[in-house]
């Protein structure tokens, strides 16, 4: 049986797959968890224990032995699975990927492959030494470790982790790989995310941050009762501000309000929401959001024939024409006879200046005065005589006189 001699020769060649100790690698540094977690629920795992994630699956770095009954020339005492995850058994003229297989599955595959050469081959594959493994670590709302497993998706991993997952904000889970690269995942409604790109495969050494699900929103600044308020589904900005007792009409600068979401702050002008029935910025909030309404600093007031009766927030260098353009004179406005009224700290009018906007528009720049905080600009109606007492009455009726006086004195 000459082919046995050939097999013997091949077994000598196959012996070149000598035993090697798998190389050890230094674990990548674990990203620091938040210094003071808001709330952390432990899965009650011993500190150094690992949750088993199913039968052990082979991967590069594992050391295995292959033995057969009656055909020792097919045996390999120790074989290190190389980085590409494939082996080349004696006589089998191809490389076989073993990544993700159990030892029993590999034994059955070898029996199938060798059945082309011998009758009823019987193989046993034994795990001699496990590869060096770094666990998949979870921290934040829940903490624990899982053994890395080939084909383990993050949604499956969370299910195996256990714990009260209602404490997790699944919309912003962060996975940091051993190479330092991070990805933020939206795993909200996980029952619908099995085929989503967010349901990524986890890798050895991954660190998974599970942020705490907040149940409150915060409203601060110039509101009656600043503080944190319980969030409810589809809660809007106006509802949150109402919970805080609404804004202080004399102090609140609605145009410069801000909204902080997920650590990022953006402008949220609320003037149109409350004064123009423009609800574009009455946005739906998320748990953990924060609304801030600052105190007004530099403001003038407009009365009469303007589209927006009320205050205008001054910017450095604003002149009368700048502010009037923003407030919008009405069709009946008498722009040749505008009054600019200064108010003293004791709530008394102390000077009135007449300005002809039409002359300014024709090139007379002297009338385009630089505005000062607390001034009241009255735009009369064309053909209508309006006395100083009328200005005072309008100011008092709209509670603007007191606001202008407070701006002048700086007392709130």
Query: What confidence tens digit (pLDDT) does each residue in 54-64 have?
Result: 688 888 888 99
Domain identity same for 103 and 201? no
Residue 295: name the closest of 250, 242, 244 by CA: 250
Locate 299 and state its tokens: 């403001």
Q: For position 389, what pLDDT does the model report?
A: 62
Domain membership of residue 193 (yes or no) is yes
Share above pLDDT 70 across residues of the chain, in percent, rounded to a whole number: 77
d(CA 303, CA 134): 70
Domain membership of residue 37 (yes or no) is no
pLDDT bin (cut points 50, 70, 90) of residue 402 is: low
d(CA 304, CA 327): 11
How confident is the prediction for the chain on average, in pLDDT? 78
CA dihedral 160, 163, 169, 175 (to 10 degrees): -40
Domain membership of residue 196 (yes or no) is yes
Transcribe 241-264 into DSSP letters: HHHTT-B-TTTB-GGG-EEEETTE
Residue pair 142/41 in contact by the 8 Å Cβ criterion: yes
Query: Which domain-ending residue is among 210, 245, 271?
Result: 210
Domain identity same for 97 and 8? yes
CA dihedral 122, 127, 128, 131 (to 10 degrees): 150
Domain identity same for 108 and 156? no
Domain identity same for 80 and 141? no
CATH of the domain at 80: 3.30.1950.10
Q: For position 138, what pLDDT does the model report?
A: 93
Domain identity same for 111 and 160? no
Of 330 and 52, the structure prediction assigns the larger pLDDT to 330
Q: For position 150, what pLDDT does the model report?
A: 73
Give the neighbor-by-neighbor strand order of the sheet with 227-230. Answer: 227-230, 216-221, 290-293, 258-261, 264-267
- HEC string of 310-370 equals EEEECCCCCEHHHHHHHHCECCCECCCCEEEEEECCCCCEEEEEEECHHHHHCCCHHHCCE
Residue pair 339/410 in contact by the 8 Å Cβ criterion: no
- Give the mean pLDDT of 300-318: 84
Domain identity same for 371 and 386? yes
pLDDT bin (cut points 50, 70, 90) of residue 252 is: confident
Which residue spans within 180-317 are E strands per DSSP? 182-185, 207-210, 216-221, 227-230, 258-261, 264-267, 290-293, 299-304, 310-313
Residue 371: name the closest of 395, 341, 351 by CA: 341
Domain identity same for 313 and 400? yes
Of 33 and 123, the structure prediction assigns the larger pLDDT to 123
Domain membership of residue 43 (yes or no) is no
Q: For position 176, what pLDDT does the model report?
A: 93
d(CA 395, CA 269): 25
Q: For position 199, what pLDDT does the model report?
A: 93
Domain identity same for 327 and 404? yes
Domain membership of residue 170 (yes or no) is yes
Domain identity same for 403 and 311? yes
pLDDT bin (cut points 50, 70, 90) of residue 309 is: confident
Give SS3 for 302.
strand
Q: Please check the confidence at residue 214 and state whether its pLDDT lies above 80.
A: no
Domain identity same for 320 and 394? yes
Domain identity same for 64 and 10? yes
Give me the domain span that covers residue 231. Answer: 216-293
Domain membership of residue 365 (yes or no) is yes
Q: Please check the confidence at residue 36 and state whether its pLDDT lies above 50.
A: no
Domain identity same for 67 and 168? no
For the chain, the domain total comes to 4
Q: For position 47, what pLDDT does the model report?
A: 34
Domain membership of residue 34 (yes or no) is no
Q: Please check the confidence at residue 220 and state whether its pLDDT lies above 90.
A: yes
CATH of the domain at 220: 3.10.560.10
pLDDT bin (cut points 50, 70, 90) of residue 43 is: very low
Query: Which domain-ending residue is among 81, 99, 129?
Result: 129
Domain membership of residue 394 (yes or no) is yes
Query: Which domain-ending residue is among 175, 210, 245?
Result: 210
Looking at 3-12, 222-231, 267-276, 374-383, which range is the least confident one?
3-12
Locate 75 and state its tokens: 């045996």
Locate 254 and state its tokens: 């609605």
Q: For position 285, what pLDDT does the model report?
A: 94
Looking at 17-21, 138-142, 191-195, 229-233, which range is the least confident one?
17-21
Residue 212 DSSP code: B
CA 146, 148, 151, 153 torsion-angle sign: positive
């Amino acid at each position: 049986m000459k082919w046995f001699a050939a097999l013997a020769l091949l077994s000598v060649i196959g012996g070149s797959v000598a035993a090697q100790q798998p190389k050890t690698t230094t674990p990548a540094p674990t990203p620091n968890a938040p210094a003071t977690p808001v709330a952390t629920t432990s899965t009650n795992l011993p500190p150094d224990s690992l949750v088993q994630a199913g039968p052990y699956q082979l991967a590069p770095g594992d050391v295995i032995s292959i033995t057969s009954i009656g055909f020792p020339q097919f045996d390999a005492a120790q074989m290190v699975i190389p980085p590409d995850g494939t082996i080349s058994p004696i006589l089998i003229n191809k490389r076989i990927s073993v990544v993700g297989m159990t030892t029993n599955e590999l034994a059955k595959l070898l029996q199938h492959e060798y059945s082309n050469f011998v009758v009823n081959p019987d193989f046993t594959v034994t795990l001699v030494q496990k590869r060096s493994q770094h666990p998949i670590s979870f921290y934040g709302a829940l903490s624990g470790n899982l053994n890395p497993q080939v084909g383990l998706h993050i949604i499956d991993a969370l299910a195996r982790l256990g714990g009260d997952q209602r404490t997790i904000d699944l919309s912003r889970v962060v996975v940091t790989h051993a190479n330092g690269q991070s990805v933020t995942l939206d795993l909200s409604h996980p029952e619908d995310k099995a085929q989503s790109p967010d349901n990524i495969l986890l890798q050895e050494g991954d660190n998974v941050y599970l942020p705490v699900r907040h149940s409150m929103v915060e409203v601060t600044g110039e509101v009656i009762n600043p503080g944190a308020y319980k969030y409810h589904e589809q809660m809007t900005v106006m509802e949150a501000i109402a919970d805080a007792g609404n804004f202080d009409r004399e102090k609140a600068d609605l145009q410069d309000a801000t909204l902080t979401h997920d650590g990022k702050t953006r402008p949220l002008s609320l003037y149109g929401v409350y004064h123009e029935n423009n609800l574009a910025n009455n946005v739906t909030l998320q748990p953990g959001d924060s609304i801030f309404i600052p105190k007004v600093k530099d403001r003038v007031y407009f009365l009469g024939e303007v589209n927006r009766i009320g205050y205008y927030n001054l910017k450095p260098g604003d002149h009368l024409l700048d502010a009037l353009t923003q407030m919008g004179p009405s069709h009946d406005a008498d722009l040749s006879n505008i009054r600019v009224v200064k108010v003293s700290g004791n709530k008394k009018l102390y000077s009135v200046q007449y300005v002809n906007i039409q002359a300014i528009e024709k090139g007379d720049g002297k009338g385009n005065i630089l505005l000062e905080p607390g001034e009241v600009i009255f735009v009369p109606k064309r053909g209508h005589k309006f006395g100083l007492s009328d200005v005072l009455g309008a100011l008092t009726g709209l509670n603007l006189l007191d606001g202008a006086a407070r701006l002048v004195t700086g007392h709130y």
